[in-house]
């Protein structure tokens, strides 16, 4: 549903509220555009104090106060929707609040009237209860046709307040003798019935607009069918390209070259017995598993990636158990500029997964992959919907040393974020393999970049220079290339102010990642209250 505001709509809106203000003044002898002497809360407080001595009346007061508060909340939301895009002298919600204040102020002069007021507002709330959906929508997301009906309901509500005030002004003796029922008056009763009718019209209009929106969505799905075909064609072309074909069908000569390059017989054999690799390749372990392999230039890293692809395809794509759909995708960052882009790599990987996973292909057909250069934004567009599935994605990236250092930083930040959020993925699994040359220099630059931004390392005193050097050397020596653990330790260091506290953290830097994450969780438990933790859990689930 979309909201638009035209000049004639705004003019009609202003005229309608001017009419209801004039009518209110004629009926009650009160100017609705003039703020009352007392706020709603002040008048309610007088009533509360007066009725607090009587337990039964005090209980009724609490119930009535809750109903009035609920009415005020509805009026505020609906008033904001009605006035969306219009430049009115008096906001509809403000005029409604004034009407409520005058009504309660008038009724406050009489004993035993509050339960009658509460019953009147309860009748109004019974209709407005249907409007709770608008509390979850932005004001500009409501269609013009619906806004007009909501405006009529607010106008009707003001009329109800006016007639009720008139009724109170003319029946002072009657009110003092017995409990008064506003709905017993023909004028008030007729307006309550009109409010209910408008509520039905609103429900019917919402259903009509919903049906229209559904049909529009169906048309878009049909129109996207051609785009899906184009994506499928692109995937097929990609997979049929010479380089991809060579990756999938690694010839015996290539395997022989691989053996020579690594200096070990049957390179695949040593890999299949490596505990880090075998753990990473399994689909019954961590939700997010990241494996990094480095080697010197010319040692056959790309050949090894090819062998890994063959192995993964053999154990997962040919698995007859069908326990979970697995997709294997990869990208080689070559020496050519056009291949040295993580954005391009993610697009290629998504196409490969789409070729293997029909459900993912359907999601991909509606994704805009060209309008952002931010890696995390593109990742979320391409893959965040998959977190709710039971799919398993293997992603292999070879040649990270070819990337710009800024892109490497984006990738590292993304990996940390993925590992942190993966505990909430459910059955979805993501396995990422990174292949490149020795990243000692990248790790050093990563630590230096983070350290430079910490206040405790600012300055040039001997003590600062010493603790800065000690931090860099210790992390480089103890962490051994684990960017996730390094980031967590630097987060912990950023909360400290004394060199001794930093050295305590550095003394524990050789612990495994689980222990470091455990300390992070302990700190959150210590600093967040129960309500904060409950809210955090609710957001994450």
Residue 136 included in any domain: yes
DSSP assignment string, 380-415 = HHHHGGGGGS--EEEEEEE-GGGS-HHHHHHHHHHH
Q: Tell me if 232 is assigned to some domain.
A: no
Digit-coded pLDDT (tens) for 372-399: 778 888 898 889 888 888 889 999 998 8
Host H or E run for residue 465:
helix 462-479
With respect to residue 182, please indicate whether it lies within any of the assigned structural domains.
yes
Same domain, 341 and 251: yes
Q: Is residue 228 part of a domain?
A: no
Tokens of 170: 């003319």
Task: State the total domains in the chain.
Answer: 3
**Confidence band, pLDDT 50/70/90 cuts, at residue 154:** confident
Least confident span in 183-197, 211-225, 252-266, 526-540: 252-266
Whether the pLDDT of residue 173 is over 50: the answer is no
Answer yes or no: are the C-beta atoms of 162 and 24 closer than 8 Å. yes
| Same domain for 151 and 121 | yes
Where would I find the H helices in 264-372?
267-272, 275-281, 301-312, 342-356, 358-364
Same domain, 350 and 455: no
Domain closes at, from 404, 438, 472 = 438
Confidence label for 257 from pLDDT (cuts 50, 70 and 90)? very low
Same domain, residue pair 159 and 254: no
Alpha-carbon dihedral 479, 481, 484, 485, rounded to 10 degrees = 0
DSSP 312: H
63 belongs to a structural domain: yes
Residue that finishes a domain, picked among 412, 438, 464: 438
Question: Are 323 and 208 in a shared domain?
Answer: no
Q: How far apart are CA 364 and CA 164, in angstroms?
A: 58
| pLDDT digit string, tens, across residues 77-98 | 777 777 665 556 667 778 888 8
| Last-in-domain residue among 382, 406, 438 | 438
Residue 369: give its domain's CATH number: 3.40.50.300
For residue 491, the surrounding DSSP H or E stretch is helix 483-493
Among the residue ranges 104-108, 141-145, 336-340, the one predicted with the least confidence is 336-340
What does the alpha-carbon distance between residue 269 and residue 65 come to, in Å, rounded to a whole number?
Answer: 76
Rg (CA), the chain: 34
Residues 454 and 413 in one domain: no
Q: Is 235 within a domain?
A: no
Q: How far apart are CA 191 and CA 236, in angstroms?
A: 66
Pair 496, 457: CB distance under 8 Å: no
Query: Which has more confidence, 168 or 235?
Result: 168
**Same domain, yes or no, for 148 and 249?**
no
pLDDT at 255 > cutoff 50: no
Does 230 reside within a domain?
A: no
- Strands 288-294, 326-332: pairing kind: unpaired
**Does residue 188 share a domain with residue 79?**
yes
Looking at per-residue pLDDT, the higher value among 38 and 64 belongs to 64
Query: CA–CA distance from 348 to each of 185, 282, 310, 326, 332 (Å)?
Result: 72, 24, 19, 17, 10
pLDDT, tens digit, 9 for 90 and up, residues 269-314: 667 778 888 888 888 777 888 888 876 665 667 777 777 888 888 8
Mean pLDDT within 455-469: 83
Give yes or no: residues 429 and 476 share one domain. Answer: no
Contact 151, 84 (CB under 8 A): no
- Residues 45, 173 within the same domain: yes
Residue 280 is assigned to a structural domain of this protein: yes
Q: Rank 286-295, 385-394, 445-454, 477-486 by mean pLDDT and report only the highest.
A: 385-394
**Residues 62-70: what's their mean pLDDT?**
78
Banded pLDDT at 4 (limits 50, 70, 90): very low
What 3-state class would DSSP assign to 445?
A: helix
Are residue 300 and residue 405 in the same domain, yes or no? yes
Per-chain mean pLDDT for the chain: 73
Q: Which of 52, 155, 62, 152 is nearest to 115 (CA)?
A: 62
**Where is average pLDDT lowest: 135-144, 247-256, 435-444?**
247-256
Report whether pLDDT(359) > 90.
Answer: no
Distance between CA atoms of residues 293 and 541, nearest Å: 34
* Stretch among 119-128, 212-221, 495-504 having the lowest mean pLDDT: 212-221
- Chain position carrying tokens 């330790």: 489
Range of the domain at 489: 442-540
> Which of 41-55, 163-177, 247-261, 463-477 shows the lowest mean pLDDT across its residues?
247-261
Same domain, 430 and 458: no
Lowest mean pLDDT among 5-14, 154-163, 186-195, 308-317: 5-14
């Amino acid at each position: 549903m979309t909201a638009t505001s035209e000049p004639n709509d705004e003019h009609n809106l202003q005229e309608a509220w001017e009419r209801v203000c004039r009518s209110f003044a004629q009926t009650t002898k009160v100017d609705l555009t003039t703020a009352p002497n007392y706020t709603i809360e002040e008048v309610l407080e007088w009533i509360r104090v007066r009725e607090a001595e009587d337990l039964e009346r005090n209980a009724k007061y609490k119930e009535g106060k809750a109903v009035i508060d609920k009415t005020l909340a509805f009026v505020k939301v609906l008033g904001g929707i009605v006035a969306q895009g219009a430049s009115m002298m008096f906001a509809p919600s403000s005029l409604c609040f004034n009407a409520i204040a005058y009504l309660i102020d008038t009724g406050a002069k009489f004993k035993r009237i509050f339960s009658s007021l509460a019953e009147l507002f309860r009748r109004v709330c019974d209709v407005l209860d249907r409007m709770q959906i608008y509390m979850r929508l932005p004001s500009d997301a409501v269609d013009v046709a619906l806004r007009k009906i909501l405006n009529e309901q607010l106008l009707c509500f003001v009329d109800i307040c006016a007639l009720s005030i008139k009724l109170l002004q003319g029946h002072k003796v009657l009110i003092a003798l017995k409990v008064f029922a506003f709905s017993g008056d023909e004028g008030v009763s007729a307006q309550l019935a009109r409010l209910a009718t408008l509520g039905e019209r609103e429900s019917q209009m919402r259903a009509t607009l919903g049906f229209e929106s559904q049909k529009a969505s169906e048309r878009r799905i049909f129109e996207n069918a051609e785009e899906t075909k184009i994506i499928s064609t692109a995937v097929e072309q990609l997979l049929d390209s010479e380089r991809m074909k060579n990756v999938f069908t690694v010839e015996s000569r290539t395997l022989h070259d691989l053996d020579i390059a690594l200096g070990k017989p049957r390179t695949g054999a040593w890999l299949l017995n490596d505990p880090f690799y075998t753990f990473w390749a399994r689909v019954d372990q961590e939700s997010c598993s990241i494996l990094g392999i480095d080697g010197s230039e010319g040692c056959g890293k790309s050949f090894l990636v090819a062998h890994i692809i063959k192995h993964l395809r053999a154990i997962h794509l040919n698995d007859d158990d069908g326990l979970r759909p697995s997709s294997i995708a990869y990208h080689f960052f070559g020496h050519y500029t056009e291949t040295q882009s993580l954005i391009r790599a993610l697009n290629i990987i998504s196409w490969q997964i789409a070729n293997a996973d029909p459900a993912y292909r359907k999601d991909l057909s509606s994704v805009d992959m060209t309008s952002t250069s931010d890696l995390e934004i593109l990742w979320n567009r391409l893959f965040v919907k998959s977190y709710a599935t039971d799919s398993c994605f293997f992603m292999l990236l070879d040649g990270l040393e070819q990337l710009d250092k800024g892109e490497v930083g984006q990738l590292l930040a993304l990996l940390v974020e993925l590992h942190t959020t993966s505990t909430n993925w459910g059955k979805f699994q993501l396995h990422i393999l990174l292949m490149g040359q020795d990243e000692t220099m990248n790790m050093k630059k990563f630590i230096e970049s983070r350290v430079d931004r910490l206040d405790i390392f600012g300055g040039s005193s001997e003590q600062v220079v010493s603790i800065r050097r000690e931090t860099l050397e210790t992390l480089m020596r103890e962490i051994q290339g684990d960017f996730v653990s390094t980031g967590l330790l630097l987060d912990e260091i950023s909360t400290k102010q004394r060199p001794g506290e930093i050295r305590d953290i550095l003394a524990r830097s050789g612990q495994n990642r689980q222990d470091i994450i455990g300390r992070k969780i302990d700190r959150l438990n210590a600093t967040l209250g129960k309500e904060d933790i409950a809210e955090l859990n609710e957001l994450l689930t």
